[in-house]
Amino acid sequence: MILQKCPNLEELVYSGEDEVMEVRMNFSEYRARNLPVPQIRCSRVAVDPLFPALVNPSDSFSTCVGRLRVRMDIIGLFVENLDALLHILDVNQRMEYLDIVVADNSPKYAAEFQKHHLKPIDRALNFPLDSKLAFLSVLSSTKIGAAAGQKKRKRRAAQGFSLHGQLDQQLLSDIFAFAAPRVLREVYFHLFRDVLNILRFKIDPFNLQTQTSNAMKDLQSRGV
């Protein structure tokens, strides 16, 4: 209903009633291509329905979930859930951020999740505007230069015009998307006591690592 009433909405954050999971869904790619946004059922934002959906490439839900936070300190540090999350990281190449909160540390799993940290995924950053302008400038200068000169150069110009004529808006978008750098996935596995800083300093849970560090520095500077 929210997505239908808000046609320009590109991001939606949902937190389950039990606060076990927090999901951030991104629809910017659908909006950019004028594609219908998939129907999202809130009942899926729970461990049992969500985990299988995130490893199903044919499920459009798996392409929308960009960030996920799981409170293992609430549902319990079950091995099957941790294994399921590791499997999601192996299969799902669209999730940009995974934040796992646990009550008790597990060095074995902490090391396994660390392996996925800052690994490139199948999402691209925005291609820099300067690079786009430079690319288009080269095309334009090639076209103008080829149009002048001798007949031999004019014959080459015809080939140049043909190539340039094929570079429509969609093809240019595909070129820029292919050339854009990949997003580096962030994965964090930490104790619940670190999350207390979220409540005290109103830290964004999806930017916990950096902001928690800043909060601790602030405490130290004040001698707390």
Within this chain, do residues 22 and 94 fall inside the same structural domain, yes or no? yes
Euclidean distance between CA atoms 116 and 119, whole angstroms = 6
Within this chain, do residues 19 and 120 fall inside the same structural domain, yes or no? yes
Euclidean distance between CA atoms 220 and 80, whole angstroms = 39
Euclidean distance between CA atoms 21 and 69, whole angstroms = 6
Q: Is 19 exposed, middle or buried (0-12, 13-18, 19+ CB in 10 A)?
A: exposed
pLDDT in tens, 130-150: 767 777 777 766 555 555 555
Within this chain, do residues 158 and 77 fall inside the same structural domain, yes or no? no
Within this chain, do residues 10 and 27 fall inside the same structural domain, yes or no? yes
pLDDT in tens, 38-90: 777 766 667 778 899 999 988 888 889 999 999 888 877 678 899 999 999 99
Within this chain, do residues 63 and 136 fall inside the same structural domain, yes or no? no
Torsion, CA 95, CA 97, CA 103, CA 106, rounded to 10: 80
Within this chain, do residues 121 and 27 fall inside the same structural domain, yes or no? yes
Within this chain, do residues 78 and 115 fall inside the same structural domain, yes or no? yes
160: containing domain: 129-178
Torsion angles phi and psi, residue 151, rounded to 5: -60, -35
Within this chain, do residues 108 and 16 fall inside the same structural domain, yes or no? yes
Within this chain, do residues 29 and 106 fall inside the same structural domain, yes or no? yes
Within this chain, do residues 33 and 136 fall inside the same structural domain, yes or no? no
Tell me how crowded residue 72 is: count the other CB atoms within 10 A of its CB: 22
Within this chain, do residues 153 and 67 fall inside the same structural domain, yes or no? no
Residue 38 DSSP one-character state: P
Vertex 106 angle, CA 75 and 15, to 5°: 30
In this predicted structure, what is the pLDDT of residue 186?
95
Q: How many domains is the chain partitioned into structurally?
A: 2
pLDDT in tens, 152-171: 555 555 454 444 455 667 77
Within this chain, do residues 31 and 110 fall inside the same structural domain, yes or no? yes
Question: For residue 23, what are the β-bridge partners?
Answer: 14, 68
Mean pLDDT for 194-209 is 52
